[in-house]
A and B are shown apart, each in its own frame.
Chain A
Amino acid sequence: MNVVADTLVGTLGIATPLLFATLGGVVSERSGVINLGLESYLLAGAFGAAAGTLAAGSLLVGVGVGLLAAGAVALAHGILATRTRADHVVTGVALNLLVDAATIAALVSLYGTKGSSPLFSDGLVEALGASKVLGLSPLTWLSLVAIPLVVVALARTKAGLRLRAVGENPRCAESLGVSAARVRLLSVVTAGLITGLGGVFLAFDVGSFSKHMAGGRGYLALACVVIGKWRPRWAAAAAIGFAFLKALANQLQTAARIPDEIPRMLPYVITLVVLSGIVGRARPPAALGKPLA
């Protein structure tokens, strides 16, 4: 019984950053911007959250700085993706390497360490504990609420229609007076803010920032986007599904001695299978990765 409860709580905890990044990925990709930069948004969000919290002694400031940092990285990414003809894949990966290195450099200059920031003070850790609702971080609840929000925003709002239109055929959108560049830029920044929340969660979960903290979740989120065929609800389901497998593996690991690599490998194997077209056809947005002329 305890194992089941632990697995479920564990699932939602593991799912939180992945969910945010996945939803961010959907928003970005549906507007036509391939987003390999999710990892960098997570890192920036986590670092900003830790640094802001430590500097101001306030969790709220931490959230604000985390969002600001992730938003700034996404803004840079968005400008590259809309104002230049730069390849989306290359810019995304480059941004990941850059931000990863930048957070380490900042760790050195701010805290004089290469590994991780100091831990939050006991008061802050207590406050984090006190903020939990039904044993889960408010951010976890927010990540769950964000699923229907993104679904509705894409399908039932004016901005959502324009975003989808630009992802399919930016020239058509332009001809109707919709600025494709602005829509894509806003989409990427929105993706940055959503994903940034995932980064904030990572820092708050541990109570500090440590290097490489995103740990490949950005890439995993992109796999979820593909497996979910670019639809927010299925992508979110994929994210939760992988989180569940991971939580299960954590529970069983000691008993069954499953090598950790197996569950970690699984998402990418499934992604390959989906992309190969064996299980139904995944049809990405028609203008995905195509620079604006």
Chain B
Amino acid sequence: MSAGVGQLSDGVGRGSDGLGVRGLTKRFGETTVLDAVDFSVAPGEVVALIGENGAGKTTLLRVVSGFYRPDGGEVLVDGKPTVLRGPRDAAAIGVGMVHQHFLLIPELTVAENVVLGREPGSGPLLDLRAAEAEVRACAERFGLDVDPRARVGDLGVSAQQRVELLKVLVRGARFLLLDEPTGLLPPSGVRELFALVERLAAEGCGVVLVTHRLREVFAVSQRATVLRHGVVTGEREIAASDERELARLMIGEDLDLDERQPSQTAADAVEVLQVERLSVAGRGERPAVDDVSLSVRAGEVVGIAGVSGSGQIELLEAVSGVRPIVSGRVRIGERVLDGDGIRARRAAGLGYVPEDRLHDGLVADLTVAENLVLCADPERGFFERGWIVRERVESEGREVVADHDVRPPDPDALCGALSGGNQQKVLVARELRGAPRVLLAAEPVRGLDFRATDAVHRRLRAICDGGGGVLLVSTDLVELLEHCDRILVMFAGGIAGEVRPDETSEDAIGLLMSGGGSAAVGDSRG
């Protein structure tokens, strides 16, 4: 630790101005999440805070924004040790945080969300007009396009993030903490966000950007602090560093970033999944999925891109059988599944990794082993005449935990107690153990770190190598471009175009995602 501290004292941006922590330690129960961490951000500076899942990045942000109390060390505001008794204290000194999972109230309007806690109006009365005017003025000042009277629940993800930003901006933040802000944004949204970050920094705001996408670090920040297992492993000026170095600091070893092996899918390979003219009801008049046809051939990973809410999740849910189909048909292998349920689909060789892994994919209160055998094929012998065969379940648990590097390697651990990455490993493992012909995966690596991400992608590829196919929904274009053989772009419930990763660009896909660029469709198909 002493070496780290010595290195840091030479670091940049360490003036008396700014927000920081010194010797910060935070424990949850017996786990030490942050261990004697030093960190700071100066006014006008953009600092990237990077690290693997569970490295302690979000915890650090939550300490400086007043959500958690430190167990050791102190928070420094302009050089002075400061006790934050809650988010209110942090807000008072100008710390604003944009949470990874937005803290918004869908039922309320934009203006109501933004002014909550510091409402304008005389006496007990709330002056909604003044609130709307304030929000509108702030939105215009920072070039954020939001209607103050809109209900937040009716807004798309990008707009919701703008509301989150507005909440911070109207409070006149001196320090802006962004926790994984780009995960849900299309490329244009990321550019807009970074332009705003640069502008705020130019106006003297200190910005902390938590991310696991190294490219973003280089796009916008001047300095990077790397956390690993709750310890600062390095602090680098961006101009004097590179991705490889930062990656090494993050994972503690050189990363084996092997190049993707594009599978050689013959055009005449057998179709393992065929979806014909599928439509799914939406919330309002407009269908969520509108007359979509697609196919996945053996050995193929087919990606579905789109701004979240374009119907891709509904499409996957309909194919998997959890969401009713209005019209159209689904064929898995040779089996046409008209009106058949989930059981029939699984029997035909369908695996499904839902978007919300803990909510829809696993049972948090069951153990890893129990989750693994939840929906297993009866032929795999976990049950006999309705009784659980303990030895079989236990051996399955042990095998999976070892094969899939689940940590802690305890098949009897409750799934809810695992980190997100390890939950995903369990979920993916369960679906793979059924040897699916087709795997549907929605955002399978969201929130996962390098290694877990790599592990999941290898497993997807392994299905293809075994003659299966994968339908992969992701809002991360880089992921799709790197791992898919074909990418379908969805817009407003329909397929806006199909592209091949080696013949397209993020921008071209971004255009399709936003409903523009039919020319690009022609190009890529030609």
Chain A residues packing against B (C-beta within 8 Å): 156-162, 164-165, 168-169, 171-178, 285-286
A165 to B108, CA, bound (A): 8
Chain B 75-113 against A: per-residue CB contact (8 Å), 1 yes, 0 no? Answer: 000000000001110010000010100011111100010
Chain B residues packing against A (C-beta within 8 Å): 67, 86-88, 91, 97, 99, 103-108, 112, 115-119, 121, 124-126, 128, 167
Q: Which of B117, B126, B167 has the most CB of A within 10 A?
A: B117
The answer to whether A176 and B126 touch (CB under 8 A), given A161-B112, A161-B119, is no
Asked whether, in the complex, the Cβ of A175 is within 8 Å of the Cβ of B87, the reply is: yes
CB contacts (< 8 Å) of A286 on chain B: these are 105-107
CB contacts (< 8 Å) of B67 on chain A: these are 175
Asked whether, in the complex, the Cβ of B86 is within 8 Å of the Cβ of A172, the reply is: no
Partner of B103, one of A158, A159, A162, A169: A169
Main secondary structure of the interface of B (DSSP, over half): loop
Q: Which of A168, A171, A177, A178 has the most CB of B within 10 A?
A: A177
Asked whether, in the complex, the Cβ of A176 is within 8 Å of the Cβ of B107, the reply is: no
A178 to B103, CA, bound (A): 13
Q: Can you name 26 A-B residue pairings with CB atoms under 8 Å? A: A157-B124, A158-B121, A159-B124, A160-B126, A161-B116, A161-B119, A162-B117, A164-B108, A165-B108, A165-B112, A168-B105, A168-B108, A172-B104, A172-B116, A174-B86, A175-B87, A175-B97, A176-B87, A176-B91, A176-B118, A177-B87, A177-B88, A178-B116, A178-B117, A286-B105, A286-B106
CB contacts (< 8 Å) of A159 on chain B: these are 124
Asked whether, in the complex, the Cβ of B124 is within 8 Å of the Cβ of A173, the reply is: no
Residue of B nearest to A285 (CB): B107
Given contacts A158-B124, A169-B105, 6 further A-B contacts (CB under 8 A): A159-B124, A161-B108, A162-B116, A165-B116, A172-B103, A176-B87
The answer to whether A171 and B103 touch (CB under 8 A), given A161-B112, A176-B116, is yes
The answer to whether A176 and B124 touch (CB under 8 A), given A164-B107, A165-B108, A286-B107, is no
Closest 5 CB pairs of A and B: A177-B88, A176-B117, A172-B103, A158-B119, A168-B105
B149 to chain A, nearest CB (A): 14
A172 to B103, CA, bound (A): 5
B394 to chain A, nearest CB (A): 33
CB contacts (< 8 Å) of A160 on chain B: these are 126
CB contacts (< 8 Å) of B124 on chain A: these are 157-159
CB contacts (< 8 Å) of B116 on chain A: these are 161-162, 165, 172-173, 176, 178
Asked whether, in the complex, the Cβ of A158 is within 8 Å of the Cβ of B125, the reply is: yes
A181 to chain B, nearest CB (A): 12
CB contacts (< 8 Å) of A157 on chain B: these are 124-126
CB contacts (< 8 Å) of A175 on chain B: these are 67, 87, 97, 99, 103
CB contacts (< 8 Å) of B125 on chain A: these are 156-158
A52 to B103, CA, bound (A): 47
B115 to chain A, nearest CB (A): 8
CB contacts (< 8 Å) of A171 on chain B: these are 103
